[in-house]
Chain A
């Protein structure tokens, strides 16, 4: 089965062009291949480009990673609130503005607030990754109660749709991108899924 999606035109202005991601699960995958894929998925999920906004019950995004110095909560006392978008206090989009045009050049300025073609927000509370171990994140991601009720294909498509996630591999401004590539990450999700979503022994 091969599904080919071009994301951009589905959600936003037609002028925007994004890399195409191919969603093409393998015919089969062994447990070992699945665990191997998971270890790469964990590399991505635990990377600052992803984990900084997957803060679980905390509504404070984090600053961590090579360009941020010491790991700490987002400066300026930023709190995303129950809305996860800062509506109660200071909207994320006040600084993380929406960038619909010229997306490849959206984030040239070092240390400026990253922007994408959708509203900036924290991940849902259930997606609690920051500082979590590989098996903890794995257990979350395969639990439909915690992953938004998604199966493997839906997780892959979610990755394809959510433009903040695309940003993680093209963060600009001298930031370190998430490891591998979006396509490789999607492929790993599919391998892991076909292998039965195995998690490492803790």
Chain B
């Protein structure tokens, strides 16, 4: 077993266990730096260890527990192991493994820290370390919050290194050379004589010795894969040949197909239904009333198309859910909560004396709002479930496998240990697959045909109208300028709480205290304004809402930076120079300077009908600045060019980091320009992409990206590209047209090409 020494400083411990035909390396489920007597009697050590690497005669398996929804998580996790293990990931078997508590995500909650990300003081780090323990207590095996790389960076490299050194030790025992004399090369231990022994050939012997855990991680300058510009994603080729299997693509013998129409008023009852027309439609096998998740009526049929057609033929009477029926009523409630003492939620930023400053002189006021947004990934919600008397098996793309395991166990009255969740690659998520209503429904449907696997798919229409959307919110701002500078900045954001409702849905446990997501992206920005206040107000719970790519910062990035831009304009200052002057964080300032240089910034004006805007947001620990250039043409606004600069601490996969930042920007622009969910009769009006268009190729500008590595540590880049895009576009439109847009989507106020 490991010597305690240096490992005690880590929060995880890599060990090994014998498995059938080989050895597994990973973290212990019970963190005890002592020999685990259970291991002696176990034929299969997987019960005691949560593995990241398995070596057996049939191959080397890399286990990548953080789910892939397109962000490249599987690829980078495999490379993190491979960098230390010395094996080409393409020569390995790769699997996300079965969910287990030891795969908890330590980094996922650090964004909820009460101290801003630019604060790297000892106090701030202590608080973050506490936040890293909470997920462990709740066994949060979750993918989200741009946390995969920060969380897995050390763990997976350690697992790879321990496996490598242990395999070398096994080879040393076999050959008589000292371990220090041996080297490794692409899946083999190499002796001083040049003999090569395959890892797979050493599997059984490695299982019989104590793992070598006193390992040094390689210096980044010696890396072969990580950080290299030519690194390519291991899932790229299958995604270009049709070979990649997403959850929706799996097929099992005898499988049936199902779909559902559920109450668009989430949580409302199914009062009655008439399925008489559906019963005799082609391929229909059975019609089932579903209670789990969200009430509805499902059809099991011989293929998905028949199931969709039959579902469309069912007439349902829906009961009203516990929230207002229309967007107008919802926004009235949001407006009513702003600056109301009873609705006060939190104020994490309060500097200077805002009230005194605003009591005299000219005060600028502005009101903003953002709509509900669907996640609308390309792959609609789906799950394959097979229920037998002994166990439940679930194949689905998800960010929350353990919550699914526990909930389905509870719903079907079966022990959680008999529920198996096989996580599949996702055709996008953007936070959509942090929910599990569809899996609950699928399990109830599959339980009606025990022994038969059922592929359950939401139609696009069902998916769009049964999303847990990004919260709508409103913001009231007041500000003042003084001597050509921004002097007072006071914003109040009103939103229904997001995080408590979401966590409650998944666990049945509410989160007490404030909901930081209401102001994340506004309160935590690295600026020094003499009088500076950000307040969150909690509107009543209405439409149940959830995390959407970049969460609170998706709206607050727009609020904070756009209002800052308004004040800078009123002060007569240059948007770039004034942001730089106000910025108190060195790395953030470098990001702004770099984007100014990259975009050739020489002021917001670019000639008649042209303009550029800059925006900045620090989110998920990544300071990100974007510049957008637009032209106001006779066919509407055209985005000509865009520039992104972000500081991620350390870049592991340069091409993918660039892709994530540009993708984040394009995702944000899509919604800023033309997407919203509006509610009528308790459900969203927009039910497919014709009414929720997003950006198309011809609307997408050339985008230049530069990534800096000045921040400490290492950060994820899946989300930070999102928040600055909408304000950069809005600020550019203002520069080109003089029109200030304070509400998304912008196409309610101006035409786009």
Instruction: Select A75's contact among B688, B693, B697, beta carbons within 8 Å.
Output: B693
Let me know if A76 and B688 touch, CB within 8 A. Answer: no
Q: Shortest CB–CB separation between residue B166 and chain A, in angstroms?
A: 56
Residues of B within 8 A of A202 (CB): none
Q: Which of A98-113 contact B (CB under 8 A)?
A: 111
In the complex the two chains form, what is the Cα distance from A77 to B691 in whole Å?
Answer: 16
Q: Shortest CB–CB separation between residue A112 and chain B, in angstroms?
A: 9
Residues of A within 8 A of B693 (CB): 75
Let me know if A77 and B698 touch, CB within 8 A. Answer: yes
Let me know if A111 and B690 touch, CB within 8 A. Answer: yes
**Proximity string of chain A (65-99) to chain B, C-beta cutoff 8 Å, 1 when within and 0 when not:** 00000000001110000000000000000000000
Residues of A within 8 A of B696 (CB): 75-77
In the complex the two chains form, what is the Cα distance from A75 to B674 in whole Å?
Answer: 12
Residues of B within 8 A of A75 (CB): 690, 693, 696
Residues of A within 8 A of B697 (CB): 77
**Proximity string of chain B (676-701) to chain A, C-beta cutoff 8 Å, 1 when within and 0 when not:** 00000000000010110100111100
Q: Shortest CB–CB separation between residue B636 and chain A, in angstroms?
A: 9
Let me know if B698 and A111 touch, CB within 8 A. Answer: no
Residues of B within 8 A of A76 (CB): 696
In the complex the two chains form, what is the Cα distance from A40 to B14 in whole Å?
Answer: 82
**Proximity string of chain B (221-257) to chain A, C-beta cutoff 8 Å, 1 when within and 0 when not:** 0000000000000000000000000000000000000
Q: Shortest CB–CB separation between residue A94 and chain B, in angstroms?
A: 15
Residues of B within 8 A of A111 (CB): 688, 690-691
**Proximity string of chain B (690-728) to chain A, C-beta cutoff 8 Å, 1 when within and 0 when not:** 110100111100000000000000000000000000000
Q: Which of A157-198 contact B (CB under 8 A)?
A: none
Chain B, Cβ-Cβ closest to A73? B635
Residues of A within 8 A of B698 (CB): 77
Most buried by A among B690, B693, B698, B699: B690
In the complex the two chains form, what is the Cα distance from A77 to B699 in whole Å?
Answer: 9
In the complex the two chains form, what is the Cα distance from A77 to B695 in whole Å?
Answer: 11
Chain A, Cβ-Cβ closest to B688? A111
In the complex the two chains form, what is the Cα distance from A76 to B697 in whole Å?
Answer: 8
Residues of A within 8 A of B691 (CB): 111
Q: Shortest CB–CB separation between residue A97 and chain B, in angstroms?
A: 16
Main secondary structure of the interface of B (DSSP, over half): helix
In the complex the two chains form, what is the Cα distance from A111 to B690 in whole Å?
Answer: 7
Q: Shortest CB–CB separation between residue A37 and chain B, in angstroms?
A: 36
Q: Shortest CB–CB separation between residue A184 and chain B, in angstroms?
A: 31
Q: Shortest CB–CB separation between residue A149 and chain B, in angstroms?
A: 35
Q: Which of B426-467 contact A (CB under 8 A)?
A: none
In the complex the two chains form, what is the Cα distance from A75 to B692 in whole Å?
Answer: 12
In the complex the two chains form, what is the Cα distance from A138 to B435 in whole Å?
Answer: 58
**Proximity string of chain A (47-80) to chain B, C-beta cutoff 8 Å, 1 when within and 0 when not:** 0000000000000000000000000000111000
Residues of A within 8 A of B699 (CB): 77
Chain B, Cβ-Cβ closest to A67? B690
In the complex the two chains form, what is the Cα distance from A75 to B699 in whole Å?
Answer: 11
In the complex the two chains form, what is the Cα distance from A77 to B693 in whole Å?
Answer: 12
Residues of A within 8 A of B688 (CB): 111
In the complex the two chains form, what is the Cα distance from A75 to B693 in whole Å?
Answer: 9
In the complex the two chains form, what is the Cα distance from A111 to B685 in whole Å?
Answer: 14
Residues of B within 8 A of A77 (CB): 696-699
In the complex the two chains form, what is the Cα distance from A75 to B696 in whole Å?
Answer: 9
Q: Shortest CB–CB separation between residue B236 and chain A, in angstroms?
A: 26
Q: Shortest CB–CB separation between residue B131 and chain A, in angstroms?
A: 44
Q: Shortest CB–CB separation between residue B354 and chain A, in angstroms?
A: 41
Chain A, Cβ-Cβ closest to B691? A111
Residues of A within 8 A of B690 (CB): 75, 111
Chain B, Cβ-Cβ closest to A63? B690
In the complex the two chains form, what is the Cα distance from A75 to B690 in whole Å?
Answer: 9
Chain B, Cβ-Cβ closest to A111? B690
Chain A, Cβ-Cβ closest to B753? A77
Q: Shortest CB–CB separation between residue B309 and chain A, in angstroms?
A: 9
In the complex the two chains form, what is the Cα distance from A21 to B696 in whole Å?
Answer: 42
Q: Which of B474-531 contact A (CB under 8 A)?
A: none
Q: Which of B195-228 contact A (CB under 8 A)?
A: none
In the complex the two chains form, what is the Cα distance from A128 to B402 in whole Å?
Answer: 61
Q: Which of B152-194 contact A (CB under 8 A)?
A: none
In the complex the two chains form, what is the Cα distance from A111 to B691 in whole Å?
Answer: 9
In the complex the two chains form, what is the Cα distance from A76 to B689 in whole Å?
Answer: 11
In the complex the two chains form, what is the Cα distance from A134 to B691 in whole Å?
Answer: 32
In the complex the two chains form, what is the Cα distance from A77 to B696 in whole Å?
Answer: 8
In the complex the two chains form, what is the Cα distance from A77 to B638 in whole Å?
Answer: 13
Q: Shortest CB–CB separation between residue A107 and chain B, in angstroms?
A: 14
Q: Shortest CB–CB separation between residue A70 and chain B, in angstroms?
A: 8
In the complex the two chains form, what is the Cα distance from A75 to B698 in whole Å?
Answer: 11
Q: Shortest CB–CB separation between residue B683 and chain A, in angstroms?
A: 16
Chain A, Cβ-Cβ closest to B697? A77
In the complex the two chains form, what is the Cα distance from A121 to B696 in whole Å?
Answer: 22
In the complex the two chains form, what is the Cα distance from A57 to B697 in whole Å?
Answer: 25
In the complex the two chains form, what is the Cα distance from A56 to B696 in whole Å?
Answer: 25
Q: Shortest CB–CB separation between residue A73 and chain B, in angstroms?
A: 8
Q: Shortest CB–CB separation between residue B488 and chain A, in angstroms?
A: 39
In the complex the two chains form, what is the Cα distance from A142 to B58 in whole Å?
Answer: 80
In the complex the two chains form, what is the Cα distance from A75 to B697 in whole Å?
Answer: 12
Q: Shortest CB–CB separation between residue A46 and chain B, in angstroms?
A: 23
Q: Shortest CB–CB separation between residue A57 and chain B, in angstroms?
A: 16
Chain B, Cβ-Cβ closest to A79? B698
Q: Which of B647-697 contact A (CB under 8 A)?
A: 688, 690-691, 693, 696-697
Q: Shortest CB–CB separation between residue B306 and chain A, in angstroms?
A: 15
In the complex the two chains form, what is the Cα distance from A70 to B154 in whole Å?
Answer: 53
In the complex the two chains form, what is the Cα distance from A75 to B688 in whole Å?
Answer: 14
Chain B, Cβ-Cβ closest to A72? B751
Chain A, Cβ-Cβ closest to B461? A110
In the complex the two chains form, what is the Cα distance from A75 to B673 in whole Å?
Answer: 14
**Proximity string of chain B (722-742) to chain A, C-beta cutoff 8 Å, 1 when within and 0 when not:** 000000000000000000000
Q: Shortest CB–CB separation between residue A109 and chain B, in angstroms?
A: 9
Chain A, Cβ-Cβ closest to B689? A111
Q: Shortest CB–CB separation between residue B695 and chain A, in angstroms?
A: 11
In the complex the two chains form, what is the Cα distance from A109 to B241 in whole Å?
Answer: 30
In the complex the two chains form, what is the Cα distance from A111 to B697 in whole Å?
Answer: 21
Q: Shortest CB–CB separation between residue A164 and chain B, in angstroms?
A: 21
In the complex the two chains form, what is the Cα distance from A111 to B696 in whole Å?
Answer: 18
Q: Shortest CB–CB separation between residue A106 and chain B, in angstroms?
A: 15
Chain B, Cβ-Cβ closest to A75? B693
Q: Shortest CB–CB separation between residue B682 and chain A, in angstroms?
A: 20
Q: Shortest CB–CB separation between residue B261 and chain A, in angstroms?
A: 15
In the complex the two chains form, what is the Cα distance from A145 to B688 in whole Å?
Answer: 43
Q: Which of A18-64 contact B (CB under 8 A)?
A: none
In the complex the two chains form, what is the Cα distance from A126 to B412 in whole Å?
Answer: 67
Chain B, Cβ-Cβ closest to A77? B698
**Proximity string of chain A (8-20) to chain B, C-beta cutoff 8 Å, 1 when within and 0 when not:** 0000000000000
**Proximity string of chain B (350-389) to chain A, C-beta cutoff 8 Å, 1 when within and 0 when not:** 0000000000000000000000000000000000000000
Q: Shortest CB–CB separation between residue B744 and chain A, in angstroms?
A: 17
In the complex the two chains form, what is the Cα distance from A111 to B459 in whole Å?
Answer: 15
In the complex the two chains form, what is the Cα distance from A111 to B692 in whole Å?
Answer: 12
Q: Shortest CB–CB separation between residue B318 and chain A, in angstroms?
A: 20
In the complex the two chains form, what is the Cα distance from A132 to B727 in whole Å?
Answer: 40
In the complex the two chains form, what is the Cα distance from A76 to B696 in whole Å?
Answer: 7
In the complex the two chains form, what is the Cα distance from A82 to B617 in whole Å?
Answer: 46
Chain B, Cβ-Cβ closest to A68? B690
Closest 3 CB pairs of A and B: A77-B698, A111-B690, A76-B696
Contacts A77-B697, A77-B699 supplied; 8 other A-B pairs, CB < 8 Å: A75-B690, A75-B696, A76-B696, A77-B696, A77-B698, A111-B688, A111-B690, A111-B691
A-B residue pairs in contact (CB < 8 Å), sample of 11: A75-B690, A75-B693, A75-B696, A76-B696, A77-B696, A77-B697, A77-B698, A77-B699, A111-B688, A111-B690, A111-B691
